[in-house]
Amino acid sequence: MSAFPHTVRAKLAKSLKYPFVGEDMDFSGAVLNGGSSTRMGKDKAEISFKNKRLIDISLEALAGARANEIFIVGGASRVAEDSLNILYCQDMFPGEGPLGGIISALSVAEYDFLVTLPCDHLYVTSQVVEQCLAVLSIHEMACPLLEDTKQVLCSAWRKSVLKKLKEIFDSGTRSVMDAVSLLDVVTFQVSNPEILRTANTIDELWQ
Instruction: Name the DSSP class of 11.
Output: P
Q: Taken in order 124, 156, 93, 81, is the CA torsion positive or negative?
A: positive
What is the Cα–Cα distance from 10 to 21, expressed in whole angstroms?
A: 18
pTM of the model: 0.84
Res 146: pLDDT: 94
Res 82: pLDDT: 67
Q: Which fold has domain 7-205?
A: Spore Coat Polysaccharide Biosynthesis Protein SpsA; Chain A (3.90.550)
Residue 162 burial (C-beta neighbours within 10 Å; 0-12, 13-18, 19+) = middle
Tens of pLDDT, residue by residue over 146-174, are: 999 999 999 999 999 999 999 999 999 99
What is the Cα–Cα distance from 39 to 63, expressed in whole angstroms?
A: 28
Kindly give the parts of the chain with pLDDT less than 70: 1-24, 35-42, 77-78, 80-84, 200, 202-207
The CB-based long-range contact list for 202-207 (8 Å cut-off, 24+ gap) reads: 202/40, 202/41, 202/47, 205/47, 205/49, 205/122
Instruction: Name the DSSP class of 203.
Output: H
Count the alpha carbons within 13 Å of 6 in the hemisphere toward its beta carbon. 18
Domain ranges within the chain, ordered by starting residue: 7-205
